[in-house]
A and B are shown apart, each in its own frame.
Chain A
Amino acid sequence: MLMKLSYLLLAGLTNGSVYGLIGLSLSIIYGSSRVINFAQGEFVMLGAMSAVLFMVTLALPWPVAMLAMLAVVVIAALALDYGVYRPLIRRKAAPLTIMIGTLAGAIIVYGLAFLIWGPDQRYVPPVLSLEPIRIGFLITNPQQISLIVIFVVFLLATWYILYRTRFGLSVRATGVNPRVALLMGIRSERIVQFSFIFSAFISGVAGMMVGPLLGGHVGMGLLLTVKGFMAAILGGLGSPFAAAAGGLAIGMMEALMAGFGTSLYAEPAIFVLILLVLIVRPYGLLGDYEAERR
């Protein structure tokens, strides 16, 4: 019983780290621009599929492949910034309009990826070993552990940047009111650009790490966006840490429900739970009022 529970918790922690990373990246973009980026999951997909391209097809060593993968997601982030965000924000589009624009961006990225990799499930090579190792009575593998470690590292890095640096203060100010941020001499568009790149970076790494565990295919992005979005809503969109915690919570719930009930009901049950939480706390479990503009 205890054994089963600890396995489920480990599985939940792994999936939760992925959702948490996506929730974290979503809320970083939301924090500076008040836009939900529906293309976030596509960055994860690009991370996983780039690993296929660079490590299997081109057989590059993994550090080189990693850099190439990061180049791919950064290019995708810049394309989204220059192709969707800037043209719309300069025409004074509302955040909702820009969100629909990011959905269009997601569909385009998916289409391009489909042309390159096709519809099939692809083998994503692990960066670290998938050989089981034993920690206490738990059996896990280095890839799984490194995913959890990366989650924690990115969480701490984001916290440090946002709350301990001058740059982070500019990011938060831009999220509250980009026009007044401009009056402080802050170049708001650059701040938003940074948030796109940084969050694409996080999602790309998440994709590369989770690909070997979940498998990779070009259609994986949308579902991950939805999961990340659920994580961010459950925790609270205003704060990256709340969004990350929401991701962990969803991963745990999924694992526990699949383990003790049936995976068939896991998904709807989670939606019901999220709904209940939002009825009681519309800002999310840990959300606060920084989410409010002005």
Chain B
Amino acid sequence: MLRLETIVAGYNKSIALDGVSIDIPAGTIVSVVGANGAGKSTIVNTISRLVSTYSGTIRFDGRDITGSKPAEVVELGIVQVPEGRQLFAPLTVEENLRLGFHRLAGKPDSAQKYRERLDYVLDLFPIMKQRIGQRAGTMSGGEQQMVAVSRALMAEPKLLMLDEPSLGLAPMIVDQIFDILAKLRKDGLTILLVEQHADEALALADYGYVMAVGKVRAEGPGNDLRDTPALHQSYLGKVVA
């Protein structure tokens, strides 16, 4: 569904991704793991077109989207759950969800569609029902992550990208979020999961990539990758020959 072809990308002329190729087939969960600073978040933000690319191509359903603008990427159905959740804290949970729905709003049957999406996410995270009128910034980290995932799902994405969803959350909440991701895959959603917690992320994934200092060091079916030397070296900071 989405392919990165030898992408070189970065910020202010520095290079954060150095010839990265990643393939995300439809209906699968692909995990990208690696230590802090390996370039994982840059992958997500490159796909969202917030980071400029120096060379390489991003293809979505075969179409070159390297030159697209961030809003156009969202319109295509590529939606991100940003690192640190990044809810609109002063706005209510419902307003946050409405903003997530922006992609589908303004179309003829959008009112009915909104109800459908809202019911769908409230079904996934029933706890939000009591929180719907609350300001998003006043909720716990776990609840905020649920709203952040729901906000992205409101757009009915084709590709859902999650940047470090476990960041700062209790293990129990992380398990809950990962269970939801497995459920979303069963519903046919394609997911790119970028995570520092390699073991859980790879256990969930159909296919995985291990990154270190801007390069892919190893790739393979998620479970096979959990014990590769490249994974350990990525986290211990040794450069693989």
Chain A residues with CB under 8 Å of chain B are 166, 169-170, 172-173, 176-177, 179-187, 288-290, 292, 294
Contacts and interface: CB of A to CB of B under 8 A. Distances in A.
A54 B236 CA distance: 73
Q: Helix, strand, loop or mixed for chain A's interface?
A: helix
Nearest to B70: A182
B10 interface: no
Interface string B151-193: 1000100000000000000000000000000000000000000
B102 A289 contact: no
A292 B106 CA distance: 29
Contact of A170 (B74, B79, B102): B102
A173 B74 contact: no
Given A166-B106, A172-B91, A181 B86 contact: no
A185 B80 CA distance: 11
A182 B50 contact: yes
Interface of B: 48, 50, 70-71, 74-75, 79-80, 82, 86, 88-91, 95, 98-100, 102-103, 105-106, 137, 151, 155
A180 B74 contact: no
Contacts of B98: 166, 169
13 contacts: A169-B95, A177-B86, A177-B88, A180-B82, A180-B86, A183-B48, A183-B80, A184-B100, A184-B102, A184-B151, A186-B99, A186-B102, A290-B90
B156 to A, nearest CB: 12
A154 B95 CA distance: 24
A166 B94 CA distance: 12
Nearest to A187: B71
Contacts of A176: 88-91
